[in-house]
Homo-oligomer: A and B are copies of this chain.
Amino acid sequence: MKGSESLLATAVAAGVQVCFANPGTTEIPLVEAFDQVPGLRPVLALSEGVVTGAADGHARMTGAPALTLLHLGPGFANGIANLHNARRARTPVINLIGEHASWHQAADAPLASDIESLAAPVSGWVGRTTSAANAAAEFAAAHRAAREQRLPATLIAAADHMWSDGGRPAEVAAVPGPPAVDDQQVAAIAKLLTRGRGRPALLLGDRALAPEAVRTAARIAATVGGEVFAERTPARIDRAPDVPAVRPIPYFPEDVLRVLDGFSDLVLVGARTPVSFFGYQGLPSYPVPDGVQVHTLADVEQDAVEALRALAEATGSAATEVPLPAPPEVSVPDGALTAAGIAAAIVSTQPEGAIVVNEGVSSGAAYPALAAAAPAHSELTNTGGAIGMGIPVATGAAIACPDRPVIGFQADGSAAYSLQALWTQAREQLDVTTVICANSRYAILRAELRRAGIDQPGPAAAGMTDLTGPAVDWVAAAQGFGVPATRATTGAELIDALRRAHAEPGPHLVEAVL
């Protein structure tokens, strides 16, 4: 058995079913092995940013490690930005990078580079194969690291280790669940919440955004007179009519200070202290008002779900009934489109069980507040701020969940980074509807210029934040990559286009002109 075959057989035995791939010559022994080892479906993408973003989306939906196949340092490098997001999402991804044959590495051939240096910033684990015989065990180590750390793990596989005989499949070890929160910590937080002074806020993130955890947190808040918040950019949040809505932490630090004003305590549950997305003059890195004391019930490593259950018991909240507030009114204005109108149109047409990948940036900010009016769905967001994740993540989520419709709420500036992902959607006939919010500018940068006191940017600043001259024709571009597309300029047209896209199988794109 070749090293490549032993490695793929180990992946299949560990439950890996899909490999997102953009291979090159150093991966040829692995490419061949897909035809020798049954059970692993290769999904080809036209560039590596699509590969890694799709892996992130896939793993966010399955909870299991997703596998990528990438070509040497430069091919891997094209996937770094979406791996940065995967790292911030705490997504287990295993990157398999084909490297030059071990005896050829010293020759510094044109494609050679320092792969470890490139991989380390986005990987919790980086390793190399040492022989055909060891390759499967080395893959098993990467698989284990990805699950234990919930981070990308990167295995650099030398071509000769892959093409040589002597491979032996390895076993993938079980990994322990998240460590429990100490009883004393639960008791201390319970004492704090029940002391009868002030008004506490619970900030949920990561695993604490699972529906059962949100319900538990809402019971606690109702009992102690507090409120529940969600971290601003969850890797995944599952909403349903019978799950209490949680208030999102805003983007700008002054808004975070405003919404947290008046609380006595901020209890972190699987979340970090809020951090300003950027540093602004006169505003703090950690926008928490002076009077608010911060406590940690569970950090992102710990078992936040069980910690909340224990806290509910300790605070006498386990049986508290939480009335579900009426969902927000959602109406789509019939005239020219606005960002809020696009969000309303998506909410009011989205099918039951949809997966909404929100990379709407400035246009997508309205979605979370309206989403309580939508049927049950999962929202995946841009966790790391590296733009261009939306269409790739939607692609991977659709591969993971073929029975769930996927909706991409997509800013145009970000869409231009990784439009190539549409081709994979067309090839795999995925049920993804991408809504491009075509405002033809980097609107977030215009907002930043205004914050810096520049209401009327000069020609250079205007040009560097403007996406016209020409505006991208998203309908033509999508058709170029094989996805049928249409354009909507009013609320009624958008609703009509969305309904038709949801009714037909396969991918669609709607350019919503702002």
Residues of chain A at the chain B interface (Cβ within 8 Å)? 21, 23-26, 28-29, 31-32, 34-35, 42, 44, 46-47, 49, 73-75, 77-78, 80-81, 84-85, 88, 100-101, 103-104, 106-111, 113-114, 117-118, 120-122, 159-160, 163, 233, 275-279, 281, 285-286, 383-386, 388, 413, 416-417, 419-420, 423, 426-427, 444-445, 448-449, 452, 454, 457-461, 463-467, 469-482
Contact = CB atoms under 8 A, between A and B. Distances in A.
Given A47-B417, A464-B44, A476-B477, A275 B110 contact: yes
A77 B77 contact: yes
A120 B114 contact: yes
A117 B466 CA distance: 32
Contact of A445 (B25, B285, B472): B25
A61 to B, nearest CB: 21
Contact of A103 (B121, B285, B460): B285
Given A35-B460, A470-B426, A100 B281 contact: no
Contacts of A117: 117-118, 120-121
Given A32-B449, A109-B276, A111-B384, 9 more contacts: A23-B465, A25-B444, A77-B386, A78-B80, A80-B118, A104-B279, A111-B277, A118-B121, A159-B279
Contacts of A35: 457-461
Contacts of A108: 275
Given A47-B416, A388-B47, A420-B416, A464 B104 contact: no
Contacts of A21: 464
8 contacts: A74-B385, A77-B386, A78-B417, A103-B285, A163-B452, A427-B470, A477-B481, A479-B480
Contacts of A23: 445, 464-465
A88 to B, nearest CB: 6
B281 A163 contact: yes
A160 B285 CA distance: 13
A277 B42 CA distance: 26
A110 B89 CA distance: 10
A480 B469 contact: no
Nearest to A100: B279
Given A74-B81, A163-B281, A445-B28, A110 B416 contact: no
